[in-house]
Amino acid sequence: MAKYKLTLEYDGTSYSGWQTQKNARSVQGTLFGAAQQLLGREVDIQGAGRTDAGVHALAQVAHLETGKPMPPKKLMEGLNDRLPSNINVLRVEKVHDQFHARHHAVARTYVYLVSRYRTAFGKRYVWWVRDPLAVERMQAACLLFQGFHDFVSFADKRFDKDASTRVKLDRIEITPQEGLIVFRITGSHFLWKMVRRMVGVLVEVGRGKLTPKDIEQMLASFSETPAKYTAPPSGLFLAQVQYAGDREETVRLPFLISPFMNV
Protein backbone atom coordinates (compact mmCIF):
# COMPACT_ATOMS: atom_id res chain seq x y z
CA MET A 1 0.00 0.00 0.00
CA ALA A 2 1.13 3.56 -0.75
CA LYS A 3 0.04 6.64 1.19
CA TYR A 4 -0.26 10.24 -0.03
CA LYS A 5 -0.99 13.56 1.64
CA LEU A 6 -3.54 15.61 -0.32
CA THR A 7 -4.09 19.34 0.10
CA LEU A 8 -7.34 20.48 -1.49
CA GLU A 9 -9.70 23.43 -1.73
CA TYR A 10 -13.45 23.29 -2.16
CA ASP A 11 -16.57 25.38 -2.31
CA GLY A 12 -18.80 23.71 0.27
CA THR A 13 -22.03 25.44 -0.74
CA SER A 14 -23.62 22.41 -2.38
CA TYR A 15 -22.22 19.75 -0.03
CA SER A 16 -23.52 18.31 3.23
CA GLY A 17 -20.06 18.77 4.70
CA TRP A 18 -16.72 16.98 4.47
CA GLN A 19 -17.67 13.62 5.98
CA THR A 20 -19.31 10.86 3.96
CA GLN A 21 -23.00 10.50 4.85
CA LYS A 22 -25.78 8.23 3.66
CA ASN A 23 -28.11 9.83 1.11
CA ALA A 24 -26.17 13.11 1.10
CA ARG A 25 -23.50 14.62 -1.14
CA SER A 26 -20.24 15.11 0.76
CA VAL A 27 -16.76 16.30 -0.19
CA GLN A 28 -15.10 13.15 1.17
CA GLY A 29 -17.56 10.93 -0.69
CA THR A 30 -17.03 12.81 -3.96
CA LEU A 31 -13.24 12.62 -3.58
CA PHE A 32 -13.51 8.91 -2.73
CA GLY A 33 -15.55 8.28 -5.87
CA ALA A 34 -12.96 10.04 -8.04
CA ALA A 35 -10.16 8.03 -6.39
CA GLN A 36 -11.97 4.75 -7.01
CA GLN A 37 -12.43 5.62 -10.68
CA LEU A 38 -8.71 6.31 -10.97
CA LEU A 39 -7.21 3.67 -8.65
CA GLY A 40 -9.76 0.91 -8.26
CA ARG A 41 -11.76 -0.12 -5.20
CA GLU A 42 -8.87 -0.55 -2.74
CA VAL A 43 -8.77 3.07 -1.55
CA ASP A 44 -9.05 4.79 1.83
CA ILE A 45 -9.35 8.56 2.37
CA GLN A 46 -9.36 10.32 5.76
CA GLY A 47 -9.51 14.08 6.35
CA ALA A 48 -7.80 16.31 8.90
CA GLY A 49 -11.14 17.58 10.14
CA ARG A 50 -14.84 17.70 9.40
CA THR A 51 -16.29 20.85 7.91
CA ASP A 52 -20.03 21.49 8.29
CA ALA A 53 -22.56 21.69 5.48
CA GLY A 54 -21.92 24.81 3.41
CA VAL A 55 -18.46 25.45 4.90
CA HIS A 56 -15.52 25.91 2.51
CA ALA A 57 -11.84 24.97 2.57
CA LEU A 58 -8.82 26.81 1.24
CA ALA A 59 -6.43 24.06 2.34
CA GLN A 60 -8.10 20.95 3.74
CA VAL A 61 -5.69 18.03 4.21
CA ALA A 62 -6.48 14.36 3.71
CA HIS A 63 -4.48 11.19 3.36
CA LEU A 64 -5.15 8.69 0.61
CA GLU A 65 -4.05 5.06 0.86
CA THR A 66 -4.04 2.86 -2.21
CA GLY A 67 -2.69 -0.42 -3.47
CA LYS A 68 -1.98 1.19 -6.84
CA PRO A 69 0.97 3.58 -6.40
CA MET A 70 1.59 6.33 -8.94
CA PRO A 71 3.70 9.52 -9.15
CA PRO A 72 2.17 12.35 -7.05
CA LYS A 73 1.78 14.69 -10.03
CA LYS A 74 -0.04 12.03 -12.03
CA LEU A 75 -2.27 11.24 -9.05
CA MET A 76 -3.18 14.92 -8.62
CA GLU A 77 -3.99 15.34 -12.31
CA GLY A 78 -5.98 12.11 -12.41
CA LEU A 79 -8.10 13.09 -9.41
CA ASN A 80 -8.75 16.60 -10.70
CA ASP A 81 -9.81 15.23 -14.09
CA ARG A 82 -12.51 13.22 -12.28
CA LEU A 83 -13.61 15.79 -9.70
CA PRO A 84 -16.30 18.46 -10.16
CA SER A 85 -15.08 22.01 -10.56
CA ASN A 86 -15.95 22.96 -6.97
CA ILE A 87 -13.30 20.58 -5.56
CA ASN A 88 -9.65 21.03 -6.53
CA VAL A 89 -6.60 19.08 -5.37
CA LEU A 90 -3.78 21.61 -4.91
CA ARG A 91 -0.88 19.32 -3.92
CA VAL A 92 -0.08 15.63 -3.55
CA GLU A 93 2.90 14.39 -1.54
CA LYS A 94 4.09 10.84 -0.86
CA VAL A 95 4.19 10.24 2.92
CA HIS A 96 5.24 7.43 5.28
CA ASP A 97 2.82 4.64 6.10
CA GLN A 98 2.10 5.92 9.63
CA PHE A 99 1.04 9.42 8.56
CA HIS A 100 -2.53 10.29 9.56
CA ALA A 101 -4.10 13.54 8.37
CA ARG A 102 -6.16 14.07 11.53
CA HIS A 103 -4.13 12.45 14.31
CA HIS A 104 -0.84 14.11 13.33
CA ALA A 105 -2.24 17.63 12.88
CA VAL A 106 -1.03 20.03 15.60
CA ALA A 107 -3.12 23.10 14.75
CA ARG A 108 -5.90 24.28 12.48
CA THR A 109 -6.73 27.77 11.27
CA TYR A 110 -10.17 28.97 10.26
CA VAL A 111 -11.05 32.25 8.58
CA TYR A 112 -14.51 33.80 8.74
CA LEU A 113 -15.59 36.67 6.47
CA VAL A 114 -18.22 39.21 7.42
CA SER A 115 -19.19 41.62 4.64
CA ARG A 116 -20.10 45.21 5.41
CA TYR A 117 -22.06 45.60 2.18
CA ARG A 118 -24.50 43.64 0.06
CA THR A 119 -22.77 41.73 -2.74
CA ALA A 120 -24.07 39.67 -5.63
CA PHE A 121 -20.80 37.86 -6.39
CA GLY A 122 -19.47 37.02 -2.95
CA LYS A 123 -22.73 36.13 -1.18
CA ARG A 124 -21.92 32.43 -0.93
CA TYR A 125 -18.55 33.23 0.70
CA VAL A 126 -19.48 35.88 3.28
CA TRP A 127 -22.04 36.77 5.91
CA TRP A 128 -23.49 40.17 5.13
CA VAL A 129 -24.27 42.02 8.36
CA ARG A 130 -26.17 45.16 7.50
CA ASP A 131 -25.88 46.71 10.98
CA PRO A 132 -22.84 48.86 11.76
CA LEU A 133 -20.34 46.94 13.91
CA ALA A 134 -17.94 48.38 16.48
CA VAL A 135 -14.78 46.55 15.37
CA GLU A 136 -12.60 47.78 18.23
CA ARG A 137 -15.09 46.42 20.76
CA MET A 138 -15.09 43.07 18.96
CA GLN A 139 -11.27 43.01 18.86
CA ALA A 140 -11.06 43.55 22.61
CA ALA A 141 -13.70 40.89 23.32
CA CYS A 142 -12.15 38.22 21.05
CA LEU A 143 -9.06 38.06 23.29
CA LEU A 144 -11.23 36.44 25.98
CA PHE A 145 -11.31 33.28 23.86
CA GLN A 146 -7.52 32.88 23.68
CA GLY A 147 -5.93 30.18 25.79
CA PHE A 148 -7.38 26.99 27.23
CA HIS A 149 -11.12 27.10 27.97
CA ASP A 150 -14.18 24.90 28.21
CA PHE A 151 -16.18 25.74 25.06
CA VAL A 152 -19.24 23.67 25.99
CA SER A 153 -21.46 26.74 25.45
CA PHE A 154 -20.18 27.06 21.88
CA ALA A 155 -20.39 23.40 20.82
CA ASP A 156 -23.24 21.36 19.41
CA LYS A 157 -22.83 18.10 21.32
CA ARG A 158 -25.20 16.10 19.12
CA PHE A 159 -22.30 15.21 16.83
CA ASP A 160 -19.44 14.54 19.29
CA LYS A 161 -21.30 13.35 22.37
CA ASP A 162 -18.16 11.95 24.07
CA ALA A 163 -15.64 14.58 22.96
CA SER A 164 -14.01 16.86 25.50
CA THR A 165 -15.16 20.46 25.20
CA ARG A 166 -11.86 21.85 26.50
CA VAL A 167 -9.96 23.46 23.63
CA LYS A 168 -6.78 25.56 23.43
CA LEU A 169 -7.01 28.56 21.11
CA ASP A 170 -3.58 29.87 20.15
CA ARG A 171 -4.73 32.99 18.35
CA ILE A 172 -7.86 34.90 17.43
CA GLU A 173 -7.73 38.12 15.46
CA ILE A 174 -10.29 40.43 13.89
CA THR A 175 -9.05 42.63 11.03
CA PRO A 176 -11.08 45.14 9.00
CA GLN A 177 -10.07 45.06 5.32
CA GLU A 178 -11.85 47.13 2.68
CA GLY A 179 -15.50 46.00 2.87
CA LEU A 180 -14.78 42.95 5.02
CA ILE A 181 -14.26 42.12 8.66
CA VAL A 182 -11.92 39.12 8.74
CA PHE A 183 -11.84 36.72 11.69
CA ARG A 184 -8.77 34.45 11.90
CA ILE A 185 -8.78 31.72 14.55
CA THR A 186 -6.03 29.15 15.21
CA GLY A 187 -6.34 26.31 17.72
CA SER A 188 -5.46 22.73 18.49
CA HIS A 189 -8.84 21.53 17.25
CA PHE A 190 -12.42 22.76 17.03
CA LEU A 191 -15.80 21.47 18.11
CA TRP A 192 -18.85 21.21 15.87
CA LYS A 193 -20.22 24.74 15.20
CA MET A 194 -17.75 26.27 17.69
CA VAL A 195 -16.21 28.81 15.30
CA ARG A 196 -19.57 29.92 13.90
CA ARG A 197 -20.96 30.46 17.40
CA MET A 198 -17.88 32.41 18.48
CA VAL A 199 -18.23 34.66 15.43
CA GLY A 200 -21.95 35.10 16.01
CA VAL A 201 -21.40 36.13 19.64
CA LEU A 202 -18.62 38.57 18.66
CA VAL A 203 -20.88 40.14 16.02
CA GLU A 204 -23.48 40.71 18.76
CA VAL A 205 -20.76 42.43 20.79
CA GLY A 206 -20.13 44.62 17.74
CA ARG A 207 -23.83 45.40 17.54
CA GLY A 208 -23.85 46.34 21.22
CA LYS A 209 -26.26 43.57 22.23
CA LEU A 210 -23.69 41.51 24.19
CA THR A 211 -20.74 42.53 26.37
CA PRO A 212 -17.34 41.02 27.21
CA LYS A 213 -18.82 40.13 30.60
CA ASP A 214 -21.42 37.99 28.81
CA ILE A 215 -18.61 36.07 27.06
CA GLU A 216 -16.82 35.50 30.36
CA GLN A 217 -20.02 33.98 31.77
CA MET A 218 -20.47 31.76 28.69
CA LEU A 219 -16.94 30.40 29.19
CA ALA A 220 -17.42 29.95 32.94
CA SER A 221 -20.62 27.86 32.75
CA PHE A 222 -22.96 26.40 30.16
CA SER A 223 -25.16 28.87 28.30
CA GLU A 224 -27.59 28.33 25.44
CA THR A 225 -27.08 31.90 24.20
CA PRO A 226 -24.32 31.19 21.61
CA ALA A 227 -26.57 28.72 19.77
CA LYS A 228 -29.05 31.54 19.06
CA TYR A 229 -26.32 33.56 17.36
CA THR A 230 -24.70 30.82 15.23
CA ALA A 231 -23.20 32.53 12.17
CA PRO A 232 -24.16 31.09 8.75
CA PRO A 233 -21.74 28.59 7.16
CA SER A 234 -21.21 30.67 4.02
CA GLY A 235 -18.46 32.85 5.53
CA LEU A 236 -16.37 30.05 7.05
CA PHE A 237 -13.19 28.61 5.52
CA LEU A 238 -10.77 25.98 6.79
CA ALA A 239 -7.62 27.90 5.89
CA GLN A 240 -4.69 25.74 7.06
CA VAL A 241 -3.87 22.48 8.80
CA GLN A 242 -0.45 22.49 10.45
CA TYR A 243 1.83 19.55 11.18
CA ALA A 244 5.09 19.38 13.15
CA GLY A 245 7.58 21.75 11.54
CA ASP A 246 4.99 23.75 9.57
CA ARG A 247 4.85 27.53 9.78
CA GLU A 248 1.64 29.54 9.81
CA GLU A 249 0.95 30.72 6.28
CA THR A 250 -0.57 33.83 4.78
CA VAL A 251 -4.11 33.03 3.68
CA ARG A 252 -5.17 34.08 0.19
CA LEU A 253 -8.89 34.68 0.02
CA PRO A 254 -11.04 33.46 -2.90
CA PHE A 255 -10.74 35.72 -5.93
CA LEU A 256 -14.45 36.51 -5.91
CA ILE A 257 -13.93 38.23 -2.56
CA SER A 258 -10.74 40.06 -3.53
CA PRO A 259 -7.86 38.90 -5.74
CA PHE A 260 -5.36 41.02 -3.82
CA MET A 261 -6.42 40.58 -0.19
CA ASN A 262 -4.35 38.51 2.24
CA VAL A 263 -5.00 37.72 5.91
Catalytic residues, by residue number, are 52
- With DSSP H G I counted as helix, E B as strand and the rest as coil, what are the percentages for the chain, rounded to 5? 25, 30, 45
DSSP letters, 49-97, are: SPPPTT-EEEEEEEEEEESS---HHHHHHHHHHHS-TTEEEEEEEEE-T
**Type and span of the H or E element at 43:** strand 43-47
Which residues does 43 contact at the CB level (< 8 Å), separation at least 6?
Answer: 32, 35, 36, 64, 65, 66
For residue 164, what is the enclosing H or E element?
none
Residue 222: CB atoms within 10 A of its CB come to 10
